[in-house]
Amino acid sequence: MRRIFCSLVPAALALASAPANASGMPESTLQIADSDEAGDVAAPKLLPVAEFWQLMQSTMAEELQEVRQLIETEFRATLVPTGEAETDWNSRGLDLHKHIESLPGGIANNALLTLGEVPSLEFFGRVPADLLADWELIQAGSKAVSPLEAKGGVFVAIGPNHVVFEADDGIQNGNARCMKSPVERASDHVTVYRYSATPFDPDSDASLEAEAEAIVIYSMMGSLSAPPICSIFRRDQEGLLQSLTYTPDGRPLGLMNDDGDRLEIVSEVNLYEQLNANYTSMLTDDESSGPAEAARDPL
C-alpha cells in the first residue's frame, strides 16, 4: 500500500492547494480559522481533537465530493500501464527484505525511510513498541491493524502533525512485494495518529489549519479503491535505492514512480523528526525544516 498512499497524497495536495473556485474545494475548508461557521464547529474550546475530526469530516463530506471525483480520476490515470509486460521483471533489483535482514540489527532494527514530496517510513518487521509514545490515536478504519499488532507496515505523513499507518498485507513474488488483494476503500485499512507534543488549540489559526489540512487529505484519499500492485527496489547508477511499480503480471506503472524520492535504510527511527519535520505543506506554503538526520545503510 505504500506506493498507493504516496501517490494519493500529492494528488490530493495539488488539488487542495488550487483556488477554491477552480478545484471545487470549499473555501470554508481552506480558511477554516477565519470562517464563522468553522468557529462554531470548533466550539467548545475543550473539544477533543478526535471529536473535532469527526465533526469536520461530517461537515465537509458533501462539499468535498467534487474534489474526490477529481482525485479519483487523477489516481486512476496513474494506474494505467506505461508499457507491455516485462520478462523476469520480478527477478530484477534487490530483495529488500533479505537485504535488511542481513544488516546489523536485522529486520527488528532497520526501516526504509522515503524522503520526497510524501515522506514515509516502512517497517518489514514488528514496529518498535515505543515508536508511538508521543502520538495519539485519532481514528481507525474497520479493517485497520494496530501498528503494535502488525507484522510490518508503513507510516505516511499527511500533514505537519499527522501520519497514517497501513499494516503490511503483501506477499513476496520473486524480488517484488505485491498486495494480496484489491483495496475497496483506503480509509478502511488505515489508522490516523497525531503528534501529541503539539497541543490542539481551537483558538489558534495555525492549529486549525494543520488539522484541516490533514482532514482534507485523509478525507479525499480515504474513499479511493485500487487493484493489486507490486513494488521492486533497485540501486541506480549512483548506488541509491529506487522503487519501481508494476502490475502483478509485470506491466510497468511508470506514472506511480517518483524520481525525486530519496530512499534510505535507517537504523534509528523517530516518526515526527523523520516524517513531519520533512513534510512541506502545499496549503500554507510552509517549507519543511530540512532533512532529518538518520543512521544510514552504507552503500
Render pLDDT for 131-160 as a digit per residue (tens, 0 to 9). 999 999 999 999 999 999 999 999 999 999
pLDDT at 184: 87
Half-sphere CA count of 269, side-chain side, radius 13 A: 26
The contacts of residue 253 (CB under 8 Å, 6+ apart) are 78, 79, 80, 81, 82, 229, 245, 246, 247
pLDDT at 219: 84
Query: What is the mean pLDDT of the segment spanning 218-228?
Result: 84
Q: Across the chain, what does the average pLDDT equal?
A: 80
Among residues 231, 226, 259, 296, the alpha carbon closest in space to that of 97 is found at 231
User: Which parts of the chain fold into alpha helices (H)?
Assistant: 2-16, 20-23, 27-30, 36-42, 49-60, 65-78, 96-102, 205-222, 271-274
**Of 225 and 6, the one with more pLDDT:** 225
Angstrom distance (rounded) from CA 55 to CA 61: 10
pLDDT over 80 (residue 37)? no
Angstrom distance (rounded) from CA 272 to CA 279: 10
pLDDT band at 36 (very low <50, low <70, confident <90, very high): very low
Angstrom distance (rounded) from CA 79 to CA 62: 26
Render pLDDT for 77-91 as a digit per residue (tens, 0 to 9). 889 999 999 999 999
**Terminal-residue alpha carbon distance, the chain:** 26
Q: Which pTM value belongs to this model?
A: 0.82
Angstrom distance (rounded) from CA 93 to CA 44: 54
What is the C-alpha radius of gyration for the chain, rounded to an integer number of angstroms?
Answer: 19
Angle at 11 between CA 215 and CA 40, to 5 degrees: 25
| Per-residue buried b or exposed e for 177-193, using 16+ beta carbons within 10 Å of the residue's own CB | bbbeeebeebbebbbbb
Render pLDDT for 1-10 as a digit per residue (tens, 0 to 9). 455 555 555 5
pLDDT over 70 (residue 275)? yes
pLDDT at 152: 92
pLDDT over 50 (residue 65)? yes
